Amino acid sequence: MDLLDQIERWWRSNEAGLRGLSIETTFQRWHPDSLNPSCSLNLSFRENEAELLAWQSGMAELGKGHPGRTVEQRHIPEISDTKDLEAVLFELVGFCKHGR
């Protein structure tokens, strides 16, 4: 299973539980026919919003912030390892729920 499939599987498995916590989620795949397809996973709760952009190559960008204020962005050179991906997804949920 490639990285994009792992992210989509996580989203589908957790979407109802996140909704139960009032966290809104959006998942979308981009450019499926390109050499390096990508996806985005967006989570939001009240004024907290976090987004993961990931490419099939394993590279990712993580953005966290509050609308109208500074957004913290981080480049992740490699996220294909399951433990690394789980840590980033946990960070996304934690930021949305607690703002940090």
Cα–Cα distances (Å) from 49 to 30, 41, 90, in that order, read 20, 11, 14
DSSP H or E segment with residue 36:
none
Instruction: Please report the pLDDT score of residue 22 as a whole number.
Output: 94
Instruction: Please report the pLDDT score of residue 31 as a whole number.
Output: 79
- Residue 7 exposed, middle or buried by CB count within 10 Å (0-12, 13-18, 19+): buried
Q: How far apart are CA 8 and CA 90, in angstroms?
A: 15
Q: How far apart are CA 62 and CA 54, in angstroms?
A: 9
At how many degrees (to 10) do helices 82-98 and 3-20 cross? 30
Domain residue ranges of the chain, discontinuous segments joined by +:
3-98
Q: Which two tokens stand for residue 72?
A: 């913290």
- pLDDT tens for the chain, 100 residues long, are 789 999 999 999 999 999 999 999 999 998 778 888 999 999 999 989 999 999 999 999 999 998 777 789 999 999 988 899 999 999 999 998 887 6
